[in-house]
């Protein structure tokens, strides 16, 4: 085999290996990875106080145990962002329960924030059970359950 044919043969093999690698890499980005990505992106949206980005992760059919809808959650977040600043959140994903069209992710968190009026620092820690539903646009938050300091729940009434 001459050098030109050998070079072409090696190029074909390397190209095939690259295509195979990229296909495997693309297919391995599964639903669990997507859910983890959403949790981290939503956390970043809260830290940046970005209502629009945060709301984009919530399903239009959102409803929690308190009968809050998506627009209620957005109003609560707006109220919190008006009252507090310098929000930082440390999270750890505890479990991901995955089914075909629905999923639940348990998130352990610790949140640090500062009250604007009194320049006072606060922290909260607890657990969120985030329920997801798979829609046409991808995975969206269907509801979540909060267990942490009860002070956070009082903000909902004042927001």
Asked, for residue 71, whether it belongs to a domain, the answer is yes
Total domains in the chain come to 1
Q: Do the domain assignments include residue 14? A: no
pLDDT at 152: 47
Q: Is residue 61 part of a domain?
A: yes
CA distances 113 to 18, 53, 72, 86, Å, are 46, 20, 22, 5
- Whether residue 140 is contained in a domain is answered as yes
Domain membership flag for residue 153: yes
CATH at 142 = 3.10.450.50
Residue 142: which of 150, 127, 131, 153 has the closest Cα? 131
CA-CA distance, 133 to 36, in Å (whole number)?
A: 14
Cα 57 to Cα 2, 17, 120, distances in angstroms: 57, 36, 30
What is the pTM for the complete model shown?
Answer: 0.72
Q: Is residue 109 part of a domain?
A: yes
114 within a domain of the structure (yes/no): yes
18 belongs to a structural domain: no
Per-run averaged pLDDT (10 residues), the chain, 159 residues: 66 70 58 88 93 94 93 92 90 83 90 86 88 91 81 44
Number of CB atoms found within 10 A of residue 112's CB: 15
> Could you tell me the residue range of the domain that residue 138 belongs to?
31-158
């Amino acid at each position: 085999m001459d050098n030109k044919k050998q070079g072409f043969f090696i190029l074909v093999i390397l190209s095939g290996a690259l295509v195979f690698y990229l296909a495997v890499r693309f297919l391995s980005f599964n639903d669990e990875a997507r859910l983890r990505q959403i949790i981290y992106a939503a956390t970043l949206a809260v830290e940046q106080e970005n209502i629009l980005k945060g709301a984009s992760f919530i399903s239009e059919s959102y409803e929690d145990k308190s009968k809050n809808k998506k627009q209620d959650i957005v109003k609560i977040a707006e109220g919190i962002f008006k009252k507090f600043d310098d929000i930082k959140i440390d999270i750890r994903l505890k479990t991901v329960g995955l089914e075909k069209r629905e999923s639940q992710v348990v998130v352990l968190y610790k949140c640090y924030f500062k009250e604007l009026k009194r320049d006072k620092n606060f922290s909260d820690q607890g657990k969120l059970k985030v329920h997801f539903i798979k829609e046409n646009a991808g995975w969206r938050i269907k509801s979540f359950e909060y267990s942490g300091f009860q002070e956070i729940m009082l903000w909902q009434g004042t927001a």
